[in-house]
Structure 1
Amino acid sequence: MTRIAKQLAIAAALAATVATSATAGSVGFQQIRNATVKITYGGTTFLVDPMLAKAGSYPAFQGTYHSELRNPTVELPLPLEDVMRADAVIVTHTHLDHWDDGAKAALPKHIPLFAQNDEDAASIRKAGFTDVRVLGPDSEFKGVRLTPVTGQHGTDQIMAALGERLGKTVGIVFRQPGHKTVYIAGDTIWTPQVAGAIAQYRPDVIVLNTGYARLKAFDGSIIMGKEDVERAYHAAPQATIIGSHMEALNHLTQTRQDLKDYVAEKGLDAQRVLVPADGEAYRF
């Protein structure tokens, strides 16, 4: 081999090493539909809160806005087989819009699946899934730490009246050495637990469910809205904020455009507040 050929070979090897390291150390996010998203750490992909049925498969949620619509209100942006391509599934809670009959029917029964507690795990096992694990402070999958963060699925007033119906829910902090930290807050309003998780884990990426889902009989919402994006923006100046869980269910009252308009109105950095379309993906 000539000297020039050796130099070219070394340069190519170094380039390949850098590219491999960048891929191995990267974190990917993809908005699928509604609260269904994918998080990828290197070569490990998590499918979170899969709602996989075709548009219009279910009636509107009772006592909510736009009850003339059927759910989900839009189709999946990708073929079902592409959406399901993952190494593990995380179900933050078992409400229909996070774990539906479409997911139960389509996902392979042997796929590793994480649930928030024993009750949800038992329900998922009844659907035929054989590798169901309960999230805990030391949960890990292929080197990725999965830490649950308690959520509150509605205001104090709503939870006092409908707490049994709305139930428990969690968010998830994803961590791996050499990778950015991701916090998916899940179906929750802004609480001290949410603020505490941001302060403790200092996530580089924060995913908020910001569709501002509402019930007709109550003021306020059962998940976050645009003001909560601003709270997270200031609470985590190092983080990119992603708005998810919009424009796919009858009772979601905040649109993507609403959030974009609010970001502009408040003078927030649009490079730090991302509002993905269904199917859109980012790498951090």
Structure 2
Amino acid sequence: MQFTQIRNATITIDFGGKKFLIDPMLSAKGAFPGFPGTVNSEQANPTVELPIPVSDIIAVDAVILTHAHPDHWDDAAKRLLPKDMPLLVQHEQDAQEVRAAGFIDVRVLQAVTEFAGITLLKTAGTHGSGKVLEDFGALLGEVCGIVFRHPQEQTLYLAGDTVWNQQVADAIQTHHPDVVILNSGDARIAGYDPIIMGKDDVLAVYQAAPAAVIIASHMEAVNHATLTRTALREFAEVHGMMDRLRIPQDGESYRF
């Protein structure tokens, strides 16, 4: 497999002979406002430019949306992606939104979905915990992760926009992934705990999956992301994690 960090949660995965685009946010830097009520909301999104041309990013076999928040599925993606591109989404609600944007091959992920000989297993996640879910659960909505399996590939687990919790622990224990992708930017609504993973969550996954390579994605590209790559690297060095932790720059790729 090959993993490429594009920007934010937008990545590409070459797996089992097919190429997937995950959670495309394809807008130019500063194209839409910061998210109201979040930290640094005065800063426009995205906060950085794309590292490679859009034409290269969208040259894929399928798109997977873990959920339809605008930092994972923006107006630019709706405009730029071919309307006959296969789009795999977590549930019918997201499917309706994608179809409304003009896409004609929209598929709802089941517990187990086959795509061109690749097995996709949908996993659970939660976009925050505690008080933030009590106050903003409807806004944060449902999210999913995906486990990728193929006879000629190592097992890949994309956790999605979740914090460390029993759902993630169960996915690791059930699927024994060789590679784990974590959305690790410690994004925050002002005054609340994180709505995606931060450095302590990354450490928890590192400890729970002692044979896996961990990739930290969803960093330094939207206004409410508070954990920098430098801070995560410093934390990881203190905790002895750099043997299996990868913190890619935008545009960087890894092969496994």
2:169 match: 195
Please tell me whether the aligned partners of residues 173 and 182 of structure 1 are also in contact (alpha carbons under 8 angstroms).
yes
For residue 42 of structure 1, report the CA deviation from its aligned partner. 3.7
Which among 43, 62, 67 is matched to residue 36 of structure 2? 62
Q: Which residue of 1 aligns with 2:80?
A: 106
Match of 2:68 in 1: 94
* C-alpha displacement of 1:157: 1.3
**Cα distance per residue 1:134-170 (max 9 Å; x no partner):** 0012211111111111111011211111111110000
Q: Could you tell me which amino acid in structure 2 is paired with residue 245 of structure 1?
A: H
Judge conservation of contact 1:63–1:217 (CA < 8 Å) in 2. no
2:254 corresponds in structure 1 to 282
Distance apart, 1:217 and its partner CA:
3.0
Determine if the alignment matches structure 1 residue 51 to structure 2 residue 25.
yes
More helix per residue: 1
Q: How does 1:1-80 map to 2 (within 5 A)?
A: 27-80=1-54
Q: Does the Cα contact within 8 Å between 2:112 and 2:122 map onto a contact in 1?
A: no
**Structure 1 residue 271: Cα displacement:** 3.0
> Unaligned 5+ residue runs, structure 2?
none
The alpha-carbon deviation at position 267 of structure 1 amounts to 1.8
Aligned-residue RMSD, C-alpha: 0.8
Which amino acid in structure 1 is aligned with residue 128 of structure 2?
Answer: G
1:263 lines up with 2:224 in the alignment:
no
Give runs of ≥4 in structure 1 deviating > 2 Å: none
Kindly provide the amino acid, as one letter, of the partner of residue 78 in structure 1.
Answer: I
The C-alpha deviation readout for 1:42-66, integer Å capped at 9, x for no partner, is: 4200100000010000101011111
TM-score by length of 1: 0.89
> Structure 2: how far apart are the matches of 1:110 and 1:258?
41
2:160 paired residue among 159, 180, 186: 186
Report the alpha carbon displacement of residue 193 of structure 1 after superposing the two structures with TM: 0.9
| 1:283 Cα offset (Å) | 0.4
Distance 1:176 1:42 in 2: 6
Deviation of 1:68 (Å): 2.1
How far is 1:216 from its partner? 1.1
Residues of 1 paired with 2:191 and 2:201: CA distance?
22
String of CA shifts for 1:189-211, please: whole Å, max 9, x gaps.
Answer: 11111100000100000000000
Identify the match of residue 217 of structure 1 among 191, 196, 211: 191
- Pick from 121, 128, 139: which aligns with 2:95? 121
Matched with 2:210 is 237
What is residue 152 of structure 1 aligned with on the other side? 126
2:94 & 2:143 partners in 1: Cα distance? 10
Distance in 2 separating the partners of 1:40 and 1:32: 13
Pick the structure with greater CA Rg.
1
* Inter-partner Cα distance in structure 1 for 2:195 and 2:255: 29
Residues matched between the structures, number: 256
* Residue 234 (structure 1) shift: 1.1
1:21 aligned residue = none
Determine helix, strand or coil for the equivalent of 2:21. Answer: strand
Identity of aligned residues (%): 52
Displacement after TM superposition at 1:133 (Å): 0.2
Q: Which runs of 5+ in 1 are unaligned?
A: 1-26
**1:13 match:** none
Checking the alignment, whether the CA contact within 8 Å between 2:164 and 2:205 is kept in structure 1 is: no
- Tell whether 2:224 aligns with 1:251: yes
Residue type matched to 1:49 in 2?
Answer: D
Question: Could you tell me how far apart the structure 2 residues matched to 1:203 and 1:187 are?
Answer: 18
Q: What is the DSSP-based 3-state SS (H/G/I as helix, E as strand, rest coil) of the residue aligned with 2:2?
A: strand
Give the Cα–Cα distance (whole angstroms) in 2 for the partners of residues 67 and 135 of structure 1: 33
Q: Which amino acid aligns with 1:72?
A: P
Partner of 1:57, secondary structure, is coil
Return the letter of the residue paired with 1:247.
Answer: E
